[in-house]
Structure 1
Amino acid sequence: ATDDKTKTQHLLSLDGANERLQLYKADLTAEGSFDSAVDGCQAVFHTASPVLFQTSNPQADLIDPAVKGTLNVLKSCAKMPSVKRVVLTSSMASVVCNRKPLSAGVVIDETWFSDPEFCAKYQHWYMLSKTLAEEAAWKFANENGIDLVAVNPGFVIGPFLQPSVNFRNRAFPSDIFRFVDVRDVANAHIQAFEVPSASGRCCVVGSMVHYTEALKIMHELYPNLPLSGNWENYETFQPQCKISQEKAKSLGVNFTPLEVSLRDTVECLKEKGLVSF
């Protein structure tokens, strides 16, 4: 809510906010809710979507807000002749969840799409919501002449503006992560609007590593940080496939090293008093 200072103060404190920042109330599921917000805008960035990995009602909690929210923003944009381009925050979740093998020599790129039936079968509800939302966005944009660019980031890390985080005390699974720095994601969105030739989708992933490699880096950066897990054999678990960075780099995105992203994430958590060691 715009009148809840605990949720907006970090935005109102940004440089230039007094002159250039306006906050609006809107409902993702209400058509027309974004009309006043996008009226007069040249660029619209649709970044909002619920992030839940456990839910008893995926349709109401994830799929409807993601799909209807995306369509409602695009419907508002279609009414406004000032809007030149819409940049959609999609996800690698709408790219990689399919039956394709992730073996040596495979390169994941913008031509990959997640399979909704596969997502639903294995109850990957967040992946399904992002897949259906992007699918609906492309259909609406093509039918209504909207210049749409989708940014597909991986697992976003790095320093943050808000005073709290949502995933405190969550355990990380022993898995492969597609990490990307939040500053690189922000830059990708800006470039997706400002570069005239930008089009289609753009995978934005800085590093694809097994979590044990991230643990190894964290241990080297912070030897006194208590970490659970064994990182000594991290090379055994390295992913065989790769994710193309070609399109992102063609837009001018330079990826932050994973070591820097992890360090800056921890330092930000420390500065905000969310961790101490």
Structure 2
Amino acid sequence: MNGEGKVVCVTGASGYIASWIVKLLLQRGYTVRATVRDPNNQKKTDHLLQLDVIYSQLIYMSQPLLLILQAELIDPAVKGTLNVLKTCVKMSSVKRVILTSSMAAVIAHASPTGPNGVVDETMFSDPSFCEQRKQWYALSKTLAEDEACKFAKANEMDLIVMNPGLVIGPILQPTLNFSVGVVVELTKGKDPFMSKSYRFVDVRDVSLAHIKALETPSANGRYIIDGPVIATLKDIEKVLREFVPDLCIGDDKNNEDIDLDLVTYKVSVEKVRSLGIEFTPTETSLRDTVLSLKEKCLL
């Protein structure tokens, strides 16, 4: 119960990663002040009140001691992120801000990483490259993170950035999100990214990393939290056949000439491991994802 007597605000709290952050924070004894776009939208908020935690700790308001900012749920990303940070500057009670960015703000650039390259926290996506390739999600993430870091530096704010990859694992919300939707497509025999290989990271690991970053005084800068192991289509198919016996993924596509650089790069996760994060095996994440989807009648 590390969080007893401490208050954390989670913005965009009804989202996939944010819901898990709320759940884990409450389990650790924190009081969570959750912000959502519409508190009256029961379809998007009821799952937060159904967590197996002390309901009275979940409060919809502001003035937190710590803040976890879900930039991907604020539209537009850059303006929304800065608006929240500007509010934080005015509130002396906010001691540390954790910004959820993405690997999309790390790996989108013109210089190919290659199968033997190593991606770490020193790498940043190139906005010009994102524009040229029409990678608008990567562009929004890159610009939002860049502006947030500039603002934090100018205002002496304790800002930490988390850069998760393709996140899967059980869902708490009642609707399908993009990354878990990838698993749904795979169970249908499709290869949604036409890549032949995938790098997954478990939502529970990502969420715990956010909390560890709050709790570790020495935590600083960026943290890549991406799956250290690459799963081939054959690896994925082997796991999913437990649920779809006649599954055959991607055999109707000719993927032999697909550029695998964005998938087969090596990723350095030593920094996030220093927070005490151990990675859930991909097989476990895939199984738990499918079981969760079945339970919610989304598969």
TM-score bracket for this pair, using the shorter chain length: 0.7 to 0.9
What is residue 109 of structure 2 aligned with on the other side? 98
Structure-2 separation of matches of 1:266 and 1:219: 8
- Is 1:272 the counterpart of 2:296? The answer is yes
After the TM superposition, list the runs of 4 or more consecutive aligned residues in structure 1 that deviate by more than 2 angstroms: 15-18, 166-171, 207-211, 213-223, 225-228, 236-241
What is residue 7 of structure 1 aligned with on the other side? 44
Q: CA deviation at 1:223?
A: 5.1
1:94-243 superposed matches below 5 A: 94-167=105-178, 172-175=192-195, 176-209=197-230, 212-222=233-243, 224=245, 226-230=247-251, 240-243=264-267
For structure 2, the 5+ residue unaligned runs are 1-37
Which deviates more from structure 2 when the two are superposed, residues 236-245 or residues 88-97? 236-245
What is residue 98 of structure 2 aligned with on the other side? 87
Q: CA deviation at 1:71?
A: 0.4
For structure 1, the 5+ residue unaligned runs are 25-36, 51-61
RMSD of equivalent CA atoms: 2.6
What is residue 42 of structure 1 aligned with on the other side? 65
Percent of aligned pairs with the same residue? 48
SS at match of 1:256: coil
Please report the TM-score for the alignment, with normalisation by the length of structure 1: 0.82
Shift in alpha-carbon separation, 1:104–1:229, aligned structure 2, 3 A: closer
SS at match of 2:128: helix
Q: How many residues align?
A: 248
Please report the TM-score for the alignment, with normalisation by the length of structure 2: 0.76
Q: Residue deviations 1:211-255, cap 9 Å, x none?
A: 514533334543515343149xx9x98754200010010111110
User: For the Cα contact (< 8 Å) 2:106–2:125, is it kept in 1?
Assistant: yes
User: For the Cα contact (< 8 Å) 1:154–1:178, is it kept in 2?
Assistant: yes
Shift in alpha-carbon separation, 1:15–1:223, aligned structure 2, 3 A: closer
Structure-1 separation of matches of 2:145 and 2:293: 32
Residue 16 of structure 1: which of 53, 57, 64 is its match? 53
